[in-house]
Structure 1
Amino acid sequence: MKWTIIKPCLAILALSASLSLAACSEQEEQAATEKQHTTSKAASEKKETVEEKLLNNITLSAQRGFVRDEVTFNVTDLKGNEPVELVWNAIDGEYIVEDLYAVIGPKFTEKEMILLEGKAGVDGQWSGKFNVPEGFGGDFTLWVKQGGKKIGQVGYTVDPSFNMEPKSGPVGTEITIKMEGLGWSTYMRNWQLTYDNKYTGLVTGISTNGTAEAKIRAAGTVGDHAIRLRTGYLGMQYINYLQSPYPDKPAPDFMFTITEGIAPTIANHVEKAPVAASGGVVMPELKQKQGVKVELSVKEGVVDAPVSLTSSGLPKDTEIELVWNTMKGSRVSGKGFGEDISTLAKVKTDKEGNINYTFKVPDDLGGIPHRIDLVDDGEVYGQTYLRILPSIVDFTPKAGPVGTKIAITIKGGGWTEYDNAYYLTYDNAYTGYLCAFNSQGNLTFDVIATGEVGHHLIDLYPGIYKQQEKDTDMTLIPQLTYSTDHPGSAMPAIRLAFEVTN
């Protein structure tokens, strides 16, 4: 019995081993075939890569220059009498903002730009000239293409250029520094400005592809005042830049001469709201029931300014609730923040279903606009947006000796990560920041008057309070390019001045 059981088992084991060996043999043969095919394919791809290696067949009259510089070129080793293109690797920049309030950071996208089209000669050569395109500065690649295929390449460096206007004027004069070709790389993206060796703020051209316009005001006594621009991706100037990895980059210095007198721009004022970077955040689309129209006499205004709301197509002889939507809370208290609603008014429609109601702009947060809902019995019939702009409510006193405490109140501060804070400079020296969210748009603070007899400038700049990606540090800094490159809601700068007396 024992052997009778074992023999069949051994037979089965032998058969299994035979089948396994056959299977292994078949798998090995298949693996060998696949390996041979893979090796052959890799060799073929390698050969193809070698064959498609780009030529160094482009000669330029210059290896570096500035935006709009004219450059001549000559290309060889082309197919004669066939179309040819000169292509540039351009960069597009933008700010990424999520959920209307959170700043993620800058984003850059590379694209190919055709600079010139032509036809190669019978000798396979092509010559011509092009102008360095407007856009970011830095190191770029020029390709020559035929039949949609890159044939050759060469490198070209675009350096940033700087110009200051005006060069002189009385205290309070607005100074504009225009720049082109600022870089997009981590090291060349952020520039920092100092005034008389005092840190003033940040200069960027992220959403404007390297073109920037910084604005400050002339501060100090009669005489010369030094303005210096340096790169600084960590939030301050890189002083010994000649020992940096990029010692060949420009490091502009300017001298502004303050003359006798006082500039008209020294008067306290809130600047006109600029255009936000890339057009700003896109607000959710408003919802209107069929036939309903809602209009405001103004789309924006300061706290307590009059505004009229008109609407048609609503239920007739019905009381409509005007619901004001806002945000409340704090991002630092630990209690969080969220949406909040209140009743702006209750207005009865006429026999045609129309309303016409005048009210004051609520004392609330500025920045992105607030939504007003027209509600009947819990159902929304129409919506509109109203934006609150910053305004100067109190500035007292306007003159006094050194040590005077100046009381200041601003209304219309925002709540998002790009408009909830203002960044204060005193005579172009960055002093600190102010947050408006926890106080529902109200900024109440004081400044101590210092300096020599004469007028002294207190400026509030927009900036970025917080961002997720920090390859370069742009947070908690006055953004001097606020008028062209500030993300989100286009917050204006606020200009103030105090006169120090004997």
Structure 2
Amino acid sequence: MKIPTYKQLFIAGTLVSMLALVACSGAEETTTTQKDQTTETTEKAEVKLKNNISLSVDRGFVRDEVKFDATDLEPNKEVELTWNSIDGKYIVEDLYAVVGPEFTEEEITLTKGKADAEGKWSGSFKVPEGFGGDFTIWVKQDGEKIGQVGYTVDPSFVMEPESGPVGTEITIKMEGLGWSTYMRNWQLTYDNKYTGLVTGISTNGTAEAKIRAAGDVGKHAIRLRTGYLGMQYINYLQSPYPDKPAPDFLFEVTEGVASTIENHVEETPVAADGGVVMPELKNKDKVKVDLSVTEGIVGAPVKLTASNLPAEKEVEFVFNTMRGSRVSGNGFGEETTVLGKAPIDKDGKIEFDFPIPDDLGGIPHRIDLVVDGEVYGQTYLRILPSIVSMEPLSGPVGTKISITIKGGGWTEFDNAYYLTYDNAYTGYLCAFNSAGNLTFDVIATGSTGYHIIDLYPGIYKQEIKDTDMTLIPQLTYSTDHPGSAMPAIRLAFKVTE
């Protein structure tokens, strides 16, 4: 069962209100009769579901063991305990447009057994791994729900490590993040500066947020709070959910610098739900096309081989990309360039060496093998982000640092990177209008020593905003970023006297 979004609920509520107004103009007797029938039906439904389950605790964490007692059951009959599990995913349309999260509910079995001669049943179950929040537990016999009770799964948070020099990678591991509007998005601050978004939508509440240690030697405060509008909800104790966790951590920055201080692009992670599914390639019968690598950075060498092409003809290698802008008003569309041409040998085979084009990253590009104006074979090549230059690497406060990155994308989930300086979010960079090139500058600030500059993936735009995830760094990019797997980019600058 799909769980409706806020937008869908609002529309449904509006329609119900309109229908109610129309109904008010009808005969009062009919309305009263319908009301009586509805009340009677509701009362019957309420009688069917008993309050006949008691739990040893009414809230806890995933994998906790909970004891239960059920009464008022059919004696000596099979019985089961069930739970409303939630599954989450991102909806992406047309390969580039982020609609938003979607959640589906499914009833799962916690445990089975048999009622005794007095209609009682006792046992225990483990809280399922998955989303946190408020859940319903049912007791069933013969496939029918007899009774119910509520249980709350709280999120848990662990920070590793607890100390290290500037540049140390800090991982915050979470389980039981919520799926509801209020409990879905978590926001992280570092020394009271906003850093980014924490989610576990496609991973059903399990997530890892990664940042790097920054600042002077000493203790630094990391806070996590819910915030469905894109920032932390600070006075959560006065919210409708004052009982929910609000974790605080202290990370101690020690002397020296971490090995991860060096400028680098992280390993490419796995996209949420495996990423978007590219259209199926269309090759003519028996034509086979292979690449020596299917992804790489701008300028890296690639060898293309193909077989069963028309013998002793010339093949043209056509590279498909996108051009345009979302903000100029001119729109965007597909564009092609020719990587080169080569003769096919007498056996219908060909080898073609070329550098990865200086173009957009993100989702893969299609390469067409065209002979006499007709496409005979196709393959996909993905361009990964790379650091081209950063100058200078050190200097006094006020130094302008010039940086160039290549391989930025064009879709709503990979066209932008979101920049933090010492874990303070400062703004975003868009690669679409510049064909994947991100050239920008940062002003050096802070005390003497190393300062970290990190670029995170995020979501540029989403259609359904019951929770706003746009234009902020997604710190859980390595486990829960939709569309394409975009790595974080790690940079550092040394402030001198």
Counterpart of 1:350 in structure 2: which amino acid? Answer: D
Q: 2:172: which partner in 1?
A: 177
For residues 270-349 of structure 1, what are the structure 2 equivalents within 5 Å? 270-349=265-344
Q: 1:109: which partner in 2?
A: 104
Range 429-438 or range 51-60, more displaced: 51-60
Secondary structure, aligned partner of 2:134: strand
Which among 94, 97, 108 is matched to residue 99 of structure 1? 94
2: distance between equivalents of 1:66 and 1:449?
43
For residues 192-271 of structure 1, what are the structure 2 equivalents within 5 Å? 192-271=187-266
Q: Using structure 2 for the length normalisation, give the TM-score.
A: 0.92
Counterpart of 1:453 in structure 2: which amino acid? Answer: T
Secondary structure, aligned partner of 1:188: helix
1:379-426 deviations in Å (ceiling 9; x for gaps):
111110000000000101101111111110000000000000000000
Q: 2:422: which partner in 1?
A: 427
Counterpart of 1:265 in structure 2: which amino acid? Answer: T
Secondary structure, aligned partner of 1:258: strand
1: distance between equivalents of 2:183 and 2:144?
31
Q: 1:450: which partner in 2?
A: 445
Secondary structure, aligned partner of 1:484: helix
Which among 361, 369, 373 is matched to residue 368 of structure 2? 373
Counterpart of 1:179 in structure 2: which amino acid? Answer: M
Residue 421 and residue 47 in structure 1: after superposition, are their counterparts in 2 closer, same or farther (change >3 A)? closer
2: distance between equivalents of 1:168 and 1:225?
10
Counterpart of 2:82 in structure 1: which amino acid? Answer: V
Which among 56, 67, 72 is matched to residue 67 of structure 2? 72
Q: 2:15: which partner in 1?
A: none
Counterpart of 2:284 in structure 1: which amino acid? Answer: K
1:111-147 deviations in Å (ceiling 9; x for gaps):
1011111111121111100111111111000001111
Residue 443 and residue 50 in structure 1: after superposition, are their counterparts in 2 closer, same or farther (change >3 A)? closer
Q: Are 1:475 and 2:462 counterparts?
A: no
- Number of residue-to-residue matches in the alignment: 466
Residue 47 and residue 202 in structure 1: after superposition, are their counterparts in 2 closer, same or farther (change >3 A)? closer
Shift of 1:47: 8.6
Q: 1:31: which partner in 2?
A: none
For residues 134-213 of structure 1, what are the structure 2 equivalents within 5 Å? 134-213=129-208
Shift of 1:316: 0.5
2: distance between equivalents of 1:320 and 1:480?
45
Shift of 1:52: 5.5
Residue 77 and residue 318 in structure 1: after superposition, are their counterparts in 2 closer, same or farther (change >3 A)? same
Q: 1:441: which partner in 2?
A: 436
Q: 2:461: which partner in 1?
A: 466
Q: Are 1:409 and 2:404 counterparts?
A: yes
Q: 1:491: which partner in 2?
A: 486
Counterpart of 1:155 in structure 2: which amino acid? Answer: G
Shift of 1:77: 1.0
Shift of 1:83: 1.2
Counterpart of 1:129 in structure 2: which amino acid? Answer: S
Shift of 1:45: 7.4
Shift of 1:46: 2.6
2: distance between equivalents of 1:419 and 1:156?
38
Counterpart of 1:381 in structure 2: which amino acid? Answer: Y
Secondary structure, aligned partner of 1:157: strand
Counterpart of 1:72 in structure 2: which amino acid? Answer: K
Counterpart of 2:454 in structure 1: which amino acid? Answer: D
Shift of 1:42: 4.7
2: distance between equivalents of 1:438 and 1:52?
62
1:70-108 deviations in Å (ceiling 9; x for gaps):
100011111122111110001001100000000000111
Shift of 1:49: 3.0
Shift of 1:67: 0.8
2: distance between equivalents of 1:298 and 1:81?
64
2: distance between equivalents of 1:380 and 1:49?
66
1: distance between equivalents of 2:154 and 2:42?
38
Q: 1:4: which partner in 2?
A: none
Counterpart of 1:203 in structure 2: which amino acid? Answer: V
- Gaps of at least 5 residues in structure 1 are 1-34
Secondary structure, aligned partner of 1:483: helix
Which among 388, 404, 420 is matched to residue 393 of structure 1? 388
1:197-226 deviations in Å (ceiling 9; x for gaps):
110000001111111100000001111000
Shift of 1:50: 4.5
2: distance between equivalents of 1:442 and 1:186?
36
The structure that has the greater radius of gyration is 1
